[in-house]
A and B are shown apart, each in its own frame.
Chain A
Amino acid sequence: MNGPLLRVENLRKYFALTRGILFTRTLGHIKAVDDVSFEIRAGETLGLVGESGCGKTTTSRMILNLEQPTEGRILLEGEPIDGLQGEALAAYRAKVQAVFQDPWSSLDPRMKVGRTIAEALIVNRWGDRAKIAARVRELLLQVGLRPEQADQYPHEFSGGQRQRVALAAALASRPRLIVLDEPVSALDVSIRAQMMNLLKDIQAEDGVAYLLVAHDLATVRHMADHTVVMYLGRIVEQAPTAALFAEVRHPYTRALFSAVLAAEPGRQTDEIELRGEVPSPLDPPTACRFHTRCPYAMPRCAEVEPPLREVSRGHAVACHLFE
């Protein structure tokens, strides 16, 4: 198959803000995700970056079918996923799995980890007990744990080990895509590197694709083939990761990059300190949403919305500076 594994087309998610219980009035809409399109190819990693409230988590929740889009479509292997029910939905969930940020809350404390990992297999009637037990052992080995640890409870594991268990559970149904929502940000530096290496090894072995939702640019640089930068529900820049890190275009992305504190003193040269805070998504700025904080804002930035356009191969920017 040549097409992308996952395709997101003009995705929008508006949350209505209402008041009252019986006679509800809609006060407005929070435009959490507003016209977002991208593709993920099989076996690749797409990094989705941005600050709190930029819509990256809402986007990933729609892809996980936990949230229904207000508009737009999501296609897995060319098939739209809206309205999936019963068997088809179960099949979709087997193909698209997730690992979340906090390994303390994502595992059931009263369930042995072997059972947590087996859960997806049991639900999908994957095989008999012996076959499932064998698969659980195989998964534990794959994520660098010992097979006998299947009989332990989550509290017996460290944070890094729990995140490995969560990954084993996600891998159980042999998914095509795993949504990784800040998979390493709760982990210590040295453990973080182990987890990132493991994720890359598994991708090389199984050819699984990742949607990596992260705020740490260095993590994205090491993990992702393509990177999408979001600001207030919109994509402001997207490019192959190497191209993006070689030349950052959008002023917001530049500010984001300059805010990264390099672990190399004296490297900071052209630091852009953004004034103020991210505006409310309930009432986002008109036209370019970044113009209220942009150091290069021009009058037309408040009047005309800049479309996302390609500035070099595969590198697209939504900014009037690049026309």
Chain B
Amino acid sequence: MSETVLEVRDLHTHFFLRRGVVKAVDGVSFSLRRGEVLGLVGESGCGKSLTALSLMRLLPKGGARTIKGEVLLDGENILERSAAAMREIRGRRISMVLQDPQTSLNPVFSVGDQLREAILRRHGASRRQVRQEAVEALRRVEIAAPEQRLGQYPHQMSGGMKQRVVGAIAITGRPAVLIADEPTTALDVTIQLQYLKLLKRLQAETGMAILFITHDFGVVGRMCDRVAVMYAGRIVECGPVRQIFEAPQHPYTRALIASVPKMTGPVGRLTTIEGQPPSLMDLPIGCRFASRCAEVEPRCLEAYPRTVQLSREHTADCWKVVPA
């Protein structure tokens, strides 16, 4: 088996609306290795969630289409698979956890029913065996007294526990890739830490790769091996977490990290990024960050910068960075 489990090449997912074309994901490429956690960070509307939905082929209704690119899961382009084949892939080879556990669970079925459904989709088995597996799945996500919990409904559980159930359902098929889209944003900080540690333990046990989507650099620092920073539909910088934190090269990454209030150091005015991201319906031909960039030059407005290889694993799309 190759080391790379998921490779995304030049992915384009656009919304075709009557008013025009919204280029929400516009040329995204990255790869995910077996057992690694890759963070995908960016602000609202940068296309990070739509990237995830494109990988799952669960695009929202209303004109969203993936028009270009490849998503290679173990070398096979899943964008070319039939809808039926895709249903077999989801949950078993690639799975997803969403932000809000309230809406990812069905309120009128017990958590046991929802777990059993996920298990039965994978293989038919006797009732006892399925129940046994469901109990085991809850135990794996460290839910106490799993036998009793099976009969409970989502409203009887706290947010943190619901998110554990969602996690249990997502990994019951032992997927090679788990996409986690802001899974802890709705949780309290102490519960968030519990959940992140749990994800890490599960990953160590199963060896799955995680694509972790977040807007929080703190979560990136805690969870990820590498991080890709997205802006206006593209990845502008990608590299090992430590390098990105200690020496971010793209002006956007630098400004974004600088604008996070810190827990140490001087308390002064925070650095801000003035202006707004460009409209995804009317993207500039040059660098998409140029209008807000403090270091903008004429060539930034003329053409989109090439991707510069800064070190073996570190890349940035900027005219001003110098290749290693």
Contacts and interface: CB of A to CB of B under 8 A. Distances in A.
Interface of A: 51-52, 158-159, 188-194, 196-197, 200, 215-219, 221-222, 242, 245, 255-268, 271, 273-274, 277-278
Contacts of A257: 263
B160 A190 contact: no
A51 B190 contact: yes
B221 A218 contact: no
Interface of B: 43-44, 158-161, 188-194, 196-197, 215-222, 241-242, 245, 255-257, 259-264, 267, 269-274, 276
B272 to A, nearest CB: 5
Nearest 6 A-B pairs (CB), nearest first? Answer: A261-B218, A263-B217, A193-B270, A190-B273, A218-B261, A51-B188
Contacts of B276: 158
Contact of A197 (B161, B191, B269): B269
A245 B261 CA distance: 14
B316 to A, nearest CB: 18
A192 B255 CA distance: 13
B256 A189 contact: yes
Contact of A260 (B189, B197, B256, B271): B189
B197 A273 contact: yes
27 contacts: A51-B188, A158-B276, A188-B44, A188-B215, A189-B43, A190-B43, A190-B259, A190-B273, A193-B260, A193-B261, A194-B272, A197-B269, A215-B189, A216-B261, A218-B260, A245-B263, A257-B263, A259-B189, A259-B190, A260-B189, A261-B196, A261-B216, A262-B218, A262-B262, A268-B222, A271-B193, A273-B197
Nearest to A158: B276
A218 B242 CA distance: 21
A193 B259 contact: yes
Contact of B262 (A158, A218, A271): A218
A248 to B, nearest CB: 11
A206 to B, nearest CB: 18
A222 B44 CA distance: 23
Given A193-B271, A277-B161, A51 B189 contact: yes
B215 A215 contact: no
Nearest to A218: B261
Contacts of A191: 43
Contacts of B264: 262, 267
B192 A259 contact: yes
A267 B222 CA distance: 10
Contacts of B192: 259, 261
Contact of A277 (B158, B189, B222): B158
A261 B193 contact: yes
A198 to B, nearest CB: 10
Contact of B272 (A159, A190, A245, A268): A190
Contact of A215 (B188, B219, B241): B188
Contacts of A192: 259, 261
A192 B188 CA distance: 19
Contact of B190 (A189, A266, A274): A274
A47 to B, nearest CB: 12
Nearest to B260: A263
Contact of B245 (A264, A273, A278): A264
A243 B158 CA distance: 34
A159 B215 CA distance: 16
Contacts of B193: 258-259, 261, 271, 273-274
Nearest to A217: B263
A196 B188 CA distance: 22
A190 B255 contact: yes
Given A188-B43, A190-B255, A261-B221, A222 B267 contact: yes
Given A261-B193, A265-B241, A219 B261 contact: yes
A262 B221 contact: yes
Nearest to B191: A277
Given A51-B188, A261-B216, 8 more contacts: A190-B255, A196-B261, A222-B270, A259-B189, A261-B192, A263-B260, A265-B221, A277-B158
Nearest to B158: A277
Nearest to B275: A190
Contacts of B219: 261
B245 A189 contact: no
Contacts of B161: 277
B289 to A, nearest CB: 11
A268 B197 CA distance: 13
